[in-house]
Chain A
């Protein structure tokens, strides 16, 4: 595994999109209503598209002959650099949309900051992705409000989802050596500076949804560094990478 911080950073961006994209695609054909099914599949495709850009660039930066497919399908759990939030299981529809909202709010802030990156290629990927993610956030925040401020049952499920997922929010704002190197190079923002805007946006949305933000800010960590993923990622990869594992380098 390369230790080039830029490669690490690109894997983090790409793996967030890849893992969440795969998670969301698991709803294909089983969402509660047809319209949501199609919307979720669209979002999954957006995220997989972004994955191709980030991991494609990561492969070029690494210069070891790995392309986006190689990185996606030929790495094992400990080489993944996504935050723990996105690998959490779908649960019910409310839990999926809560996870989406909590990620989208960070994702859009991060991409918006990356548009000003000193690296022109990163800036271009961010600009393209930000358009898609703006819509993702609009949709997920509307759904969180609709279900949170909905029926007794939907409110209860959304609060349970928020309580379950909140401990995974903090990791997105914890910086490390990779983030410091990116900040020094003017490539990416210090993760911590995105927190204030995030808290504002999430606070407003949760208030409109009549949901209560958990007071405890304890944060699980270990996803973006790869040190300790939750058990769920390995199970997901056995599904996602099955074909490449069973039939290495198979092509259409």
Chain B
């Protein structure tokens, strides 16, 4: 994604392009609910100056082909995320405990897809 500072205006006049500011539009993570009854799903991210603009940009970037009925925009900095380095400690213990996975049951055909 581009930021306002790094891109050139297609100007009517030559504007001196000064040093890039340290600030730029914040990054927003966008979640869209495709149909009533389903949950919101992460579809991507974009830059916007504020929440209202983030929703508008999301409408244009991600729902153009009628994908959504509801949009959430969350400022990326507000998301708490697990760290990739902790992968081992967090997830590996689950790998060798096969009994935690319900793979030993024969599921009758009549049940259908689960």
Q: Could you list which residues of chain A lie within 8 angstroms of chain B, going by C-beta atoms?
A: 27, 30, 32-35, 38-39, 42, 90-93, 95, 135, 138-139, 142, 146, 153
Report whether A92 and B7 are in contact in the complex, using a CB–CB cutoff of 8 Å. Answer: no
B-side interface residues, number (CB < 8 Å):
25
Known: A139-B56, A142-B53, A146-B49. A30 touches B10 (CB 8 A): yes
The chain A residue with its CB closest to the CB of B50 is A146
Q: How many A-B residue contacts, CB cutoff 8 Å?
A: 55
Interface of B is mostly: loop
Known: A35-B48, A142-B53, A146-B49. A93 touches B60 (CB 8 A): no
Interface of A is mostly: helix
Report whether A92 and B9 are in contact in the complex, using a CB–CB cutoff of 8 Å. Answer: yes
Q: Could you list which residues of chain B lie within 8 angstroms of chain A, going by C-beta atoms?
A: 1-4, 7-13, 15, 25, 46-49, 52-53, 56-57, 59-61, 64
Report whether B56 and A32 are in contact in the complex, using a CB–CB cutoff of 8 Å. Answer: no
Report whether A35 and B61 are in contact in the complex, using a CB–CB cutoff of 8 Å. Answer: yes
The chain B residue with its CB closest to the CB of A30 is B10
Instruction: State in angstroms the CA–CA spacing of A198 and B64 once bound together.
Output: 29
Minimum CB–CB distance from A46 to chain B (whole Å) comes to: 10
Report whether A142 and B47 are in contact in the complex, using a CB–CB cutoff of 8 Å. Answer: no
When distances are taken between beta carbons in the complex, the residues of chain B under 8 Å from A27 are 10
Report whether B10 and A92 are in contact in the complex, using a CB–CB cutoff of 8 Å. Answer: yes
Instruction: State in angstroms the CA–CA spacing of A146 and B3 once bound together.
Output: 16
Report whether B3 and A35 are in contact in the complex, using a CB–CB cutoff of 8 Å. Answer: no
When distances are taken between beta carbons in the complex, the residues of chain A under 8 Å from B1 are 33-35
> Apart from A30-B10, A39-B61, what are 4 other A-B pairs with CB-CB below 8 Å?
A32-B7, A33-B1, A92-B10, A142-B53
Report whether B4 and A91 are in contact in the complex, using a CB–CB cutoff of 8 Å. Answer: no
